[in-house]
Structure 1
Amino acid sequence: MSDSLTGRETVLYMVGAEAGQTMTVSLTVNNTAGYFNVYAPGAGPGDAALAVGSLIGPMMPDLNRFEGILPTSGTYTISVYLYRAAARRGEVADYTLDVAVTGATGEVVQGDFADGLAGGPDFYQVATSAGGPLNLRAGPSQGAAVVIALANGTNLRNLGCRMAEGRRWCRVATLADPGDEGWAAGDFLIEGSGTPAPAPTPASDAAVGGTDEQRVHFDPGASGAELTGTLPPGASHRYVLGAKDGQFLTVRVAGQGPGLSYQIFNPDRSFLLDQMSREQDYRGQLWQSGDHVVEVINRGNDTASYTVTFGIE
């Protein structure tokens, strides 16, 4: 990943990995004051770092090079920054960050212990925070293809769980005959029963309130745009932005109502980002050229007004 930062800016990269895997991180930067820190799951800038790029020590065989066996499963944070004096002077640093995670992932395990990797109950139930659907995926990854969208409250048969990408994923099957089988994020599963619940909806279906689409145009010379909208319950609005492989896309959604979320599709309609809460901004480098789609969704029970900000650089 290549980017630049100025002054007191800090760029954060989130990497999901499992205990026992090996992570390597190296930073190439054109400013000698540029460094990175690595933080264990649950920690970030302001907390104690797992490793500091400006110091040689455990897991840091050289300046700006990290290599070590990870102690816990979860999402690790890599913070790229300028050292204090250079940051105060407003210096600029162009850099390339290389990250690798190697080593086998854990096996699918079975058992009778709820909320862990060792099995769980015989049945799960979908329980999303805003009452919306949950994607059932072909593999234990946010980037895996969507098989179907499971309605909130759907009961599922538990076929075993494992850690992947710093997250607990469970292989589940719907109770219909014939049913569907795939992987669901364990964050949105609670103990359920063998009673069939609402039928799943095809992943390609629009939200129940309808979906509109709009192409986003930037003003001449501008690299961003800000738009406003209003969504009734269950509705969504799709924004289409043309962008190229290698460019950076920034998305920020601000609004009222707990049910607002958004997702981003690549030009081939695969997921770039799946079901992100409005409280979290997105910034990432694109790997396809063409029309990217940002879909803002209201999964709440009330009409919601919002502002969405886009940037492409």
Structure 2
Amino acid sequence: MNRRYLLGTLPLLAAAPVLAQQLPAIRTLSVTPGAGGTNVTGSLADTKARGLYYVPGQAGQTMNVSVASPGNTVVFQVWEPGTGVRTNADGTLALNGKPMRDAGPSEEPAAWIGALPKTGPYLLIVYSRREAASYTLTVSVTGS
């Protein structure tokens, strides 16, 4: 009886990995305050692809982020420390946190400067609005 039960669950267990989508790697950028910034190059395969980066920041510092891409199709978002990120079954990101003012999902900036309200890793999400694209992301932090 136990054997039949176990065999009956195998198709369900085998289907589980198909439903789950792997979260893209989140890379931590090393940004030295006042040192002129860090440049990162990357590419996005399509409009569903995301580049994810953590940038350490201290409350009271100012962060400057910009992204350059052919055709200016790549934009980004900046999220406060503590933002939870996971992948939905369809591969889209699900975020649980607070976007930075003027750098959230409805703004889609290509350049942003903002004061950091908290200490911790800020999440940057880079994506293309129209097509596959390459990009250069520039991040700097100033202040104490």
Query: What band does the TM-score fall into relative to the shorter chain?
Result: 0.5 to 0.7
* Alignment RMSD: 2.0
In the alignment, structure 1 residue 76 sits paired with structure 2 residue 76: no
**Structure 1 counterpart of 2:134:** 94
Secondary structure of the residue aligned to 1:41 is: coil
Query: Is 2:104 aligned against 1:52?
Result: yes
Deviation at 1:19, TM superposition (A): 0.2
Amino acid of the residue matched to residue 142 of structure 2? T
SS at match of 1:52: coil
Question: 1:31, CA displacement in angstroms?
Answer: 3.6
Pick from 69, 73, 76: which aligns with 1:33?
A: 73
- Offset, 1:16: 0.7
Q: Distance in 1 between matches of 2:140 and 2:57?
A: 10
Structure number having the greater strand percentage: 1
2:104 aligned with 1:64: no
Which sections of structure 2, spanning at least 5 residues, go unmatched? 1-39, 86-92
Mapping of residues 180-259 of structure 1, within 5 Å: none
- Equivalent pair of 2:79/2:104 in contact (CA under 8 Å): no
**How high is the TM-score relative to the length of structure 1?**
0.28
Q: Which has the higher helix share?
A: 2
How many residues are treated as equivalent by the alignment?
Answer: 92
Question: TM-score, normalised on structure 2?
Answer: 0.57
Q: Are 2:59 and 1:19 aligned?
A: yes
Structure 1 pair 20–71 and aligned structure 2 pair: CA distance change class (3 A)? same
**d(CA) in 2 for partners of 1:24, 1:94:** 20
- Distance in 2 (CA, whole Å) between partners of 1:53 and 1:30 is 21
Residue 20 of structure 1, CA deviation: 0.3
Report % sequence identity: 37
> 2: distance between equivalents of 1:23 and 1:4?
23
For residues 212-236 of structure 1, give each alpha carbon's deviation from its aligned partner in whole angstroms, at most 9, with x where no partner exists.
Answer: xxxxxxxxxxxxxxxxxxxxxxxxx
Residue in structure 2 matched with residue 2 of structure 1 by the alignment = 41
SS in 2 for 1:55: coil
Q: CA deviation at 1:102?
A: 1.0
Instruction: Structure 1: give runs of 5+ residues left out of the alignment.
Output: 57-62, 105-313
Give yes or no for contact 1:17–1:101 (8 Å, CA) kept in 2: yes
1:52 to partner: Cα distance:
2.8
CA positional deviation for 1:55 = 2.2
Structure ID, larger Rg:
1
Q: Deviations over 1:148-190 (max 9, x none)?
A: xxxxxxxxxxxxxxxxxxxxxxxxxxxxxxxxxxxxxxxxxxx
CA positional deviation for 1:53: 7.3
Residues 252-284 of structure 1: per-residue CA shift (max 9 Å, x gap): xxxxxxxxxxxxxxxxxxxxxxxxxxxxxxxxx
- Relative contact order higher in (CA < 8 Å, ≥ 6 apart): 2
